[in-house]
Amino acid sequence: MRKTQVTAQQVAERAGVSLTTVSFVMNNKTGASISEATRLKVLDAAEELGYFPHITARSLARGRTSNIGLLLFRPHQRIFIDPFMPNLITGFSEIANQEGYRLLVQNIDDSDIITPVKTMLRGGEVAGLVVAGFDVENGDMLLPLIKDGYPVVPIDPMNNPAISYVSIDHPSGVKDVIYHLIRLNHTKIGCITYGPFNRVKQRLQAYRQALESSGIAYDEGLIREGQYDPETGYLAALSLLRERPDMTAIFGMNDMMALGALSAIHESGLRVPQDIAVVGYDDMRFSPYLYPRLTTVRAPEVELGRQAAIMVLDQIRGTLIAPKYVSLKSELIIRDTCGAS
């Protein structure tokens, strides 16, 4: 438990600087001639004394900190071509604006997330952070921040029960669409990922589990790697069509890959869904307007943004005491490309 009696004067004494210097550093005041070494000395002293969270709380009460950060950890190029991020920001901003907060978006490519995050939070630049781009392997990097009581919410599932999070249950969505194909008697189902295998492990594992739980052997020869651009889905589908004539369906791990696959199938003189079925994932805006209309899985990305904003605001206000886990459900959208209505 932090010592609520800690004052700025105590921080100044610990850091060996003036009270004015502490004030300038803590309020992120621009124009002050304070070296980086001195600034870090003040921040370190404040952290040792447990002063920063209270500074943030008081600045919030005075209306000085009205920003919530959205931190993109090692962002993939998909954020520039995939509607996921605009959808997330739409939902996030809706709640933040209602509560009088503004949204700041920050990219971090460095493996050291703790230092920049602490700087943002300790300096009062943001009142709390929502973090995108984590997975269960690197989620524990957030633990020092969580233990120190900083308002931080990842939008991916974490394997540590101490970390609150919001997420979409993508594995269930993948299983739903693969089970749907299996019910239509497809057993040779190609899969085109939207990125390197290490980035899509959850969806790839769900694809495999759906097959094996239905008594269908997982076949690595039916897997191809795509890279978000529909052209890569097109090339991957051409490879599958050439090398696996026994294939009767293709699962595009997102709708961009399915779009490329549709083009490759038509170019090859085959019909969808009569000769080969195609399904996607995410239900992008163009999906209902393709011909044939794309069967896919709708992921509630706008609602994900809303729930992330609600959770980080609850942490900022101190109303979220115990860890909380929100997992939103996806929805199978059956259209024409799978041969069922």
DSSP bridge partners of 191:
223, 251
Per-residue pLDDT at 63 exceeds 60:
no
**pLDDT beyond 70 at 75:** no
pLDDT of 3: 44
Give the pLDDT of residue 171. Answer: 96
Which band of pLDDT confidence, cut at 50, 70 and 90, is reported for residue 59?
very low
Domain ranges of the chain: 1-64, 170-299
Find where tokens 């899985």 sit.
297
Q: Are 92 and 309 in contact (CB under 8 A)?
A: yes
Q: What tokens appear for 217 in the block?
A: 């052997």
How many Å apart are CA 241 and CA 50, to the nearest integer?
A: 61
Question: Nearest-CA neighbor of 60 among 116, 126, 12?
Answer: 126
Helical (H) or strand (E) element with 166: strand 165-168
Helix axes 52-61, 114-122, angle to 10 degrees: 40
Specify the CATH superfamily of domain 170-299.
Response regulator (3.40.50.2300)
Among 116-130, 177-191, 288-302, 326-340, the minimum mean pLDDT is found in 116-130
Residue 209, C-beta contacts closer than 8 angstroms, at least 6 positions apart? 171, 175
If you average pLDDT over every residue of the chain, what do you get? 85
* Maximum Cα interatomic distance, the chain, rounded to a whole number of Å: 78
Which region among 261-270, 315-324, 331-340 has the lowest average model confidence (pLDDT)? 315-324
Locate 296 and state its tokens: 């896919």
Verify cis geometry, omega within 30 degrees of 0, for the bond prior to 273.
yes
CATH topology of domain 1-64: 434 Repressor (Amino-terminal Domain) (1.10.260)
Q: Give the pLDDT confidence of 164-219 residue by residue, as tens digits.
A: 999 999 999 999 999 999 999 999 999 999 988 888 888 999 999 999 999 999 99
Question: CA-CA distance, 198 to 219, in Å (whole number)?
Answer: 18
Share of the chain above pLDDT 70, in %: 85
Q: What is the DSSP string of 16-79?
A: TS-HHHHHHHHTT-TT----HHHHHHHHHHHHHHT-HHHHHHHHHHTT---EEEEEEES--THH
For 86-101, what is the mean pLDDT? Answer: 90
Give 310's pLDDT tier (boundaries 50, 70, 90): very high
